[in-house]
Structure 1
Amino acid sequence: MTALLRYQSGLLLRSQRWLAPLLLYAAFIGVGVQAGEPVLGALGFTAAALLPVSAWTVRICLTQEPPAARGVVAAAAGRGRAHLAALLTGAAWPVLVGTVAVLAVTAIGDRRGVTALAAATAGLLGALACALTGAAVGALASRPFLRAPGWSLAALVLGSLLALVTTGSPAKHAMTALVTGARTATADPPWLACGGALLLAAATAALACRSTARLE
């Protein structure tokens, strides 16, 4: 699996397709986060903005290989393992970017009533919940479920929006916890949301890998 992860990461970095979602995330943060505003509210926005970026990155990783190369990798490692490596790569890079963003926002935000450690912990858990939820959206909005680029993109946008506003979504739960904490000056780490997002991402990955082995 390590070799597959290196292969997928190399493809992503060399293709420079990661640049568009990264710039989108930077634009979200630059417009939506201001120095000196309540840190928990800023972290809520930082986490929420990571969801569509994660979904987009996962979709990029699932579609970046030429069909011939995908067939060779599938023959060598198995379709399920190859698909899982692409999913893990697409989910890992947004988590890394989100971690850097959370630490930066924690440093410049107004932490009155909240310690830096508590704010960073809540922000990191919120970002992880949103990134994993976005990864699940990206997995469902790409191959093997949707192969047409137009339908895939439409599902990606709609799924990201629903994941942010639907009651019961781990991402919405995490974002709400951070925004509510900003009003009460209480950092309540969204452990439940993070656990739910992890289960959702794991179930979606298992479904996608099994479907890939059958449908492709």
Structure 2
Amino acid sequence: MTALLRYQSGLLFRSQRWLAPLLLYAVFIGVGVQAAEPVLDALGFTAAALLPVTAWTVRICLTQEPPAARNVVAAAAGRNRAHLAAFLAGTAWPLLPGTVAVLLVTLVSDRRGIPVPAAAVTGLLAALACALTGAAVGALASRPFLKASGWSLSALVLGSLLAFVVTGSPAKHAMTALTAGARTATADPPWPAFAGALLLAAAAATLACRATARLE
């Protein structure tokens, strides 16, 4: 699996397709987060912006291989493992700028008596919840379920929006926890949202890997 992850990461960075979601995230943070803003409000926006970015990156990794190369890798390592490696690479890389953004926002925002470690842990868990939810959206809005680019991108945008409003969504739960904490100036780490997002991402990855073995 390590070799597959290196292969998928190499494809991603050599193609430079990672630049678009990274720039989108930078624009989101630059426009939506202001210095001296209440820390939990700023962390909520920072985490929320990671959802569509992760969904987009996962879709890039799942669709970046030419069909011939994909067939060669599938023959060598198994189609399930190859698809899982692409999913994991697309999920992991957005977490790096997300983690940096959470730490920087924690330092420059108005913490209003909230300790730095508590704010940072709360922000990181919210970011993980949103990123993992976005990864699930990206997995379900890409091959093998949707192969046409137009339908895939439309599903990606719609799924990202629904993730913030559908009852039971881990991302919505994380945002609700941060909003409630901002009102009371209390950092309450959203562990349930993180656990739910982890289960959701695992279920989506399992479904996608099984489907790709049957449909491709």
**CA distance in 2: counterparts of 1:154 and 1:108, whole angstroms:** 36
State the match for 2:95 in structure 1.
95
| Partner-residue secondary structure (3-state), 2:163 | helix
Any conservation in 2 of the 1:4–1:85 contact (CA below 8 Å)?
Answer: yes
The CA distance in 2 between the partners of 1:118 and 1:2, in whole Å, is 33
Output aligned runs, 1:20-39, within 5 Å.
Answer: 20-39=20-39
For structure 2, the 5+ residue unaligned runs are none
Aligned to 2:148: 148
Kindly report which structure 2 residues correspond to 1:182-201, keeping only aligned pairs within 5 A, or say none: 182-201=182-201
Tell me, yes or no, if structure 1 residue 4 matches structure 2 residue 4. Answer: yes
Contact 1:21 1:57 in 2 (8 A): yes
Alignment pair present for 1:40 and 2:35? no
Runs of 4 or more consecutive aligned structure 1 residues displaced over 2 Å after TM superposition = none
The aligned counterpart of 1:116 is 116
1:170 and 2:170 are equivalent in the alignment: yes
Please state whether the residue corresponding to 1:65 is helix, strand or coil: coil
Which residue in the other structure is 2:204 paired with? 204
**Structure 1: where are the runs of 5+ without partners?**
none
Q: TM-score, normalised by structure 2?
A: 0.99
RMSD value over aligned CA atoms?
0.5
Paired with 1:107 and 1:169, the residues of 2 have a C-alpha distance of 28
- Tell me what 2:69 maps to: 69
| Separation in 2, partners of 1:76, 1:107 | 47
Q: How many residue pairs align between the two structures?
A: 216
TM-score (norm 1): 0.99
**Aligned counterparts of 1:70 and 1:136: Cα–Cα separation in 2:** 21
User: Residue type of the partner of 1:49?
Assistant: A
- Describe the SS at the equivalent of 1:165: coil
Shift of 1:34: 0.3
Alpha-carbon offset, residue 96 of structure 1: 1.5
